């Protein structure tokens, strides 16, 4: 499918981040974009370029994590013929390619110390020197950089230069994770669902069923919007009846009863530990029972209350500990009046 270039979301946290990017775009200063994977850092970087006075000039992207440490300096600053083995001719680097425009440095935290030092000079003086060259070249480039790391902590660990961070952090835009974007999960899911339904040739978009919606809201979304898009598109193409609301989601595409032995990921302690390891099981009613249904309901309520307390009131973890689906535990909590 085509590259996604628009912003979708109505939460205040998300709208604030987009608005800050729009304001920063008009200033010819470096910007750092911080966020977890899948939160849209590349889209914010492109917005910073498109809304700037450099919009009609080059927009050059370099993923620092994809470049070997031995080659990233040559990739950034270019090289002269004979500068190293295999350099048979001179080559311009990304800085020269982006002259007059914007250079987006993704995964900035993975950059080597040597490349950081040379980047510092480029940002400070607007000069770069090709590998193997003796004279610097002036360039006019705006730097936008992104990372999912906390750079001040890397400075404390001597893994990132403090002076470089000072020069790059004129403005820092931190993107909220999907789990913090209240109301946006269903909005995004509907958008991706309608697009996928159109790709599959469905006549109408049937929407999502209650189980699917509850599962979406209960998931932590470690991969954020990118993960959500994959889950929704996968669910729709697997759904057999386009006339019924989509009501089944698969969060882990690798989950299978035939998964190779020894490759299953270890469960989290809270989700996998039996109740008896951390708390004795709820006591069964003692003495004669005059109302079986009431006794069973009371015992069930006590088990739910104890498990929720043990799992720190995380419904997803409690559901896994009891062998229930997220939808089932929500129903049970509501039945017994135990909703947080």
CATH of the domain at 215: 1.10.8.60
pLDDT-based confidence at 2, cuts 50/70/90?
very low
Q: Are residues 193 and 55 in the same domain?
A: no
Query: Residue 273: pLDDT above 50?
Result: no
pLDDT of residue 169: 95
Q: Which ranges in the chain belong to alpha helices (H)?
A: 12-25, 41-50, 69-77, 94-97, 113-125, 151-156, 162-168, 184-199, 210-218, 224-238, 269-272, 275-278, 292-310, 315-322, 326-335
Q: State whether 113 and 51 are in the same domain.
A: yes
Same domain, 167 and 35: yes
Same domain, 44 and 127: yes
Residues 67 and 106 in one domain: yes
- What rounded mean pLDDT belongs to the chain? 86
Lowest average pLDDT, out of 54-68, 127-141, 143-157, 193-207, goes to: 127-141
Note whether 267 and 321 are within 8 A (CB). no
Domain boundary among 176, 196, 215: 176
pLDDT at 36 over 90: yes
Tokens 């040559």 correspond to what residue?
74
For residue 307, what pLDDT band results from cuts at 50, 70 and 90?
confident
For residues 258 and 156, which has the higher predicted lDDT (pLDDT)? 156
User: Which of 248, 165, 152, 236 lies closest to 198, judged by CA?
Assistant: 236
Task: For residue 133, give the CATH number of its domain.
Answer: 3.40.50.300
In a domain, 128, yes or no: yes
At what angle are helices 292-310 and 326-335 packed, to 10 degrees?
Answer: 120
pLDDT higher than 80, residue 284: no
Q: Looking at the domain assignment, is residue 200 inside a domain? A: yes
Closest C-alpha to 286, from 277, 298, 275, 274: 298
Q: Are residues 219 and 323 in the same domain?
A: no
Residues 28, 152, single domain; the answer is yes
Number of domains in the chain: 3
Indicate the burial class of 27 (C-beta count within 10 angstroms; 0-12, 13-18, 19 or more).
Answer: middle
Tokens 């020069």 found at: 167
Q: How confident is the model at residue 283 (pLDDT cuts 50, 70, 90)?
A: low
- Say if residue 53 is in the same domain as residue 102: yes
Minimum mean pLDDT range among 140-144, 187-191, 227-231, 295-299: 295-299
Which residues face 137 on adjacent strands? 128
Q: Of 176, 200, 222, which closes a domain?
A: 176
Query: Between 166 and 316, where is the model more confident?
Result: 166
Grade residue 280 by pLDDT with cuts at 50, 70 and 90: very low
Amino acid 257: pLDDT: 76
pLDDT at 201 (0 to 100): 95
Q: Which residues contact 86 (CB under 8 A, 6 or more apart)?
A: none
Q: Is 42 in the same domain as 94?
A: yes
Residue in 32, 67, 51 with CA at minimum distance from that of residue 146: 32
Domain boundary among the residues 196, 219, 238 is at 238
pTM confidence score: 0.73
Going by C-alpha positions, the residue among 189, 149, 186, 185 that lies closest to residue 35 is 149
Assigned domain for 4 exists: no
Q: Which residues pair with 146 in a beta bridge?
A: 33
Exposure class string for 262-286: b at 16+ Cβ within 10 A, else e: eeeeeeeebeeeebeeeeeebeeee
145 and 210 both lie in a single domain = no
Q: Is residue 210's pLDDT more than 80?
A: yes
260 in a domain, yes or no? no
Residue 283 domain boundaries? 269-335
DSSP string, 71-82: HHHHHHH-B-TT
Of the given ranges (95-104, 173-182, 262-271), which has the lowest mean pLDDT? 262-271
**100: DSSP letter:** T
């Amino acid at each position: 499918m085509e590259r996604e270039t628009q912003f979708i979301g109505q939460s205040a946290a998300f709208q604030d981040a987009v608005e800050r990017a729009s304001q920063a775009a008009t200033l010819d200063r470096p910007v750092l974009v911080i966020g977890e994977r899948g939160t849209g850092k590349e889209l914010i970087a492109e917005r910073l370029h498109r809304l700037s006075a450099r919009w009609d000039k080059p927009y050059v992207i370099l993923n620092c994590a994809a470049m070997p440490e031995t080659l990233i300096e040559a990739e950034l600053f270019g090289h002269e013929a004979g500068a190293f083995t295999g350099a048979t001719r001179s080559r311009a680097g990304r800085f020269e390619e982006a002259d007059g425009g914007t250079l987006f440095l993704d995964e900035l935290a993975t950059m080597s110390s040597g490349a950081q030092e040379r980047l510092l000079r480029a940002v400070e003086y607007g000069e770069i020197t090709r590998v193997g060259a003796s004279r610097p070249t002036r360039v006019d480039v705006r730097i936008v950089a992104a990372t999912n790391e906390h750079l001040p902590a890397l400075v404390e660990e001597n893994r990132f230069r403090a002076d470089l961070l000072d020069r790059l952090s004129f403005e820092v835009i931190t993107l909220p994770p999907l789990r913090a974007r209240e109301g946006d999960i269903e909005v995004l899911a509907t958008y991706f669902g309608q697009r996928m339904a159109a790709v599959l040739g469905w006549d109408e978009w049937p929407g999502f069923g209650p189980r699917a919606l509850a599962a979406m809201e209960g998931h932590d979304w470690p991969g954020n919007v990118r993960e959500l898009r994959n889950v929704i598109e996968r669910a729709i193409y697997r759904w057999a009846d386009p006339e019924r609301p989509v009501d089944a989601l698969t969060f882990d595409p690798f989950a299978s009863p035939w998964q190779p032995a020894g490759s299953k990921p270890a469960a989290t302690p809270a989700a996998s530990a039996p109740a008896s390891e951390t708390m004795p099981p709820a006591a069964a009613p003692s003495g004669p029972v005059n109302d079986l249904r009431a006794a069973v309901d009371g015992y069930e309520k006590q088990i739910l209350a104890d498990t929720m307390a043990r799992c720190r009131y995380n419904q997803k973890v409690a559901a896994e500990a009891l062998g229930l689906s997220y939808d089932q535990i929500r129903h049970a909590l509501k039945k017994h009046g135990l909703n947080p």
